[in-house]
Amino acid sequence: MKIGLLGGSFNPIHTGHVRMAIEVRERLELDRVELIPAKQPPHKSAQDILPFDLRMSMVEVAIAGIPGLGVNPIEGERPGPSFTCDTLTCYRTEKPQAELFFIMGAGTFLELENWQRGMEIPDLANLAVVTRWTAAERVAGFIRDHWPQAEELGGDQWRFPSGRMLYRLDIPRLDIKAGEIRYRWKERRDLTLLVPDAVRAVLDERETEIVQYWGERI
């Protein structure tokens, strides 16, 4: 089975996240893409991060009924920061027969050297790096600089010494940022098409709880 893994704080999940999962699943013909909310994102301030269970609930309703998408609470089951290398190691232990594809944007890929054991990730899973045309050459340069033994196969594909693959995918992307969603929500602005309708309903229904983290609405 070919499983794509899309991690993030999902604070909150928005339409761009969902669309990325769908696009990568189709392009790489994956059996399933699992969205993985981080319990404690190591690279972000925890001050405005909603509780894990609430973010999980929003991911569940956001992808409900979409074929091939699922959500996995694996990072909520571990203490401490949610490091990707630990998550991938757990997946490989629990699903040894699965072929894993870790999904990330090009900007995130270019920051791997700053992650906990980030440069080991190509040893643990294939990579699906979503780019825009302006970032394509930077991705190729980063691979040449950090994995000089990686074999460029053409068609925006590389094979690492571990045998894992990197696929660079140019797909339609929606330039939506979770921080902008939080700002608009606080100002009571319309979030139509920025977040799935079911997520918008959760944000309104649980306003009393959410303002404790995002601040009072105007």
Domain-by-domain residue ranges, the chain? 2-175
pLDDT higher than 90, residue 83: no
Percent of the chain with pLDDT over 90: 76
Q: How far is CA 69 from CA 19, 34, 40, 174, in A?
A: 11, 6, 23, 18
Which runs of consecutive H residues, i.e. helices, occur in the chain? 15-27, 52-63, 84-94, 106-109, 121-124, 136-146, 178-186, 197-205, 207-214
Confidence of residue 133 (pLDDT cuts 50, 70, 90): low
- pLDDT value, residue 42: 73
**Which numeric CATH code is attached to 2-175?**
3.40.50.620
Please tell me whether the overall predicted TM-score, pTM, comes out greater than 0.85 for this model.
Answer: yes
Average pLDDT over residues 3-22: 96
Q: Structure tokens of 89?
A: 């190691």
- pLDDT value, residue 45: 62
**Using an 8 Å Cβ cutoff, are 178 and 9 in contact?**
yes
DSSP 49-67: PPPHHHHHHHHHHHHTT-T
Q: What is the pLDDT of residues 41-58, one digit of tens each?
A: 776 666 789 999 999 999
**Using an 8 Å Cβ cutoff, are 123 and 164 in contact?**
yes
* Cα 202 from Cα 12, distance rounded (Å): 10
